Amino acid sequence: MAFMTDRKRATGMGSAKEGTHHHWNMTISSIALLILVPVFVFSIGPMIGEPHDAVVAYFARPFPAIVSALTIVIGFLHFKNGVQVLIEDYVHGTARKLLIVLMICVSYGAMATGLFAIAKLAL
């Protein structure tokens, strides 16, 4: 114990120097969603509950397909980064790492599924 110095205790315990990047990513995606979400809600929202052929015809148009694709990709990127902070605050140890990995899988999985569906409907 006599060999411990204040310097030695502090070395390696600092920031990983990437926290600002996470915050900047959240800022950028939030500004994108500020525009995309209202457009998505008011254009795609009314289609829920519509018959199948109407929905298929709707997503064959460029505007709904592009807006939905952008909203789903950026929305799930924003969720991936946001839920990571939630997990880091309340879950510890190995469970924390596993849960973050699981949520990254869910986010990219949902993104890919949504893009596949939109591409199939649009083309």
Partner 1 sequence: MPDVNRGNRPLSPHLQIYRPQLTSMTSILTRITGNALLLGSLLIVWWLLAAASSPAYFEFVDNILTCWIGKLIMLGSIWAIWYHLLAGLRHLYWDTGRGLEIEVAEKLGWAVIIGSVLATIITIVIV
Output the smallest distance, CB 18 to partner 1, in A. 18
Quickly count: other Cβ atoms within 10 Å of residue 96's Cβ.
15
Q: Binding of partner 1 at residue 22 (CB under 8 A)? A: no
Enumerate long-range contacts of 50-55, CB under 8 Å, 24 or more apart.
55/121
Q: Are 96 and 87 in contact (CB under 8 A)?
A: yes
Output the smallest distance, CB 43 to partner 1, in A. 9
Residue closest to 64 by CA, chosen among 77, 50, 79 = 50
* Residues binding partner 1 (CB under 8 A): 1, 4, 9, 27, 30-31, 33-34, 37-38, 41-42, 45-46, 48-49, 52-53, 55-56, 59, 68, 72, 75-76, 79, 82-83, 86, 106, 110, 113-114, 116-118, 120-121
